Amino acid sequence: MRRIVLLALLLACKPSPPKGALAVGQIAVSEAGLAGKPEIGESAEQLRKELQAALEGTGRFTIRGDGPVSIEMEIDRAQRIFAPVPVIGQGQSPPEREMAEVSLDLEMLSAGPAGELDRLLAEGEARRPTNADDTLDPAARHAAFDAALDAAMREAVVALKDQIDARHKTDDQLLADLSAQDPRVRDYAIRVLADRRSPAAVPQLISRLSDTNPDVARRAAGALIAIGDRRAVSPLIEMTRKRRPEDVGPILYAIASLGGPEAEAYLFTLESGSPDEEIRRAAKGAYADLLRRKQEQAAAVETGRRTP
* CATH, residue 209: 1.25.10.10
Per-residue pLDDT at 16 = 54
Per-residue pLDDT at 87 = 55
Q: Which of 144, 167, 190 is the last residue of a domain?
A: 167
Per-residue pLDDT at 127 = 94
Per-residue pLDDT at 117 = 74
Residues 181 and 105 reside in one and the same domain: no
Strands of the sheet with 117-129, listed across from one edge: 61-63, 22-29, 69-84, 96-111, 117-129
Kindly report the pTM of this predicted structure: 0.75
CATH number, domain of 118, equals 3.30.160
Could you tell me if residue 28 is inside a domain?
yes
Per-residue pLDDT at 30 = 94
Per-residue pLDDT at 139 = 81
Per-residue pLDDT at 66 = 85
Query: What averages of pLDDT result for each successive group of 10 residues across the chain (308 residues)?
Result: 50 55 92 90 93 94 90 95 69 74 95 75 94 71 93 96 93 94 93 90 92 90 91 93 89 94 95 92 95 89 68
Q: What distance in Å separates the CA atoms of residue 292 and residue 173, rounded to the nearest whole number?
A: 39
Q: Which of 24, 89, 92 is nearest to 63 (CA)?
A: 24
Per-residue pLDDT at 73 = 97
Q: Which of 63, 70, 71, 72 is nearest to 21 (CA)?
A: 63
Residues 107 and 136 reside in one and the same domain: yes
Per-residue pLDDT at 94 = 61
Residues 9 and 149 reside in one and the same domain: yes
Residues 67 and 177 reside in one and the same domain: no
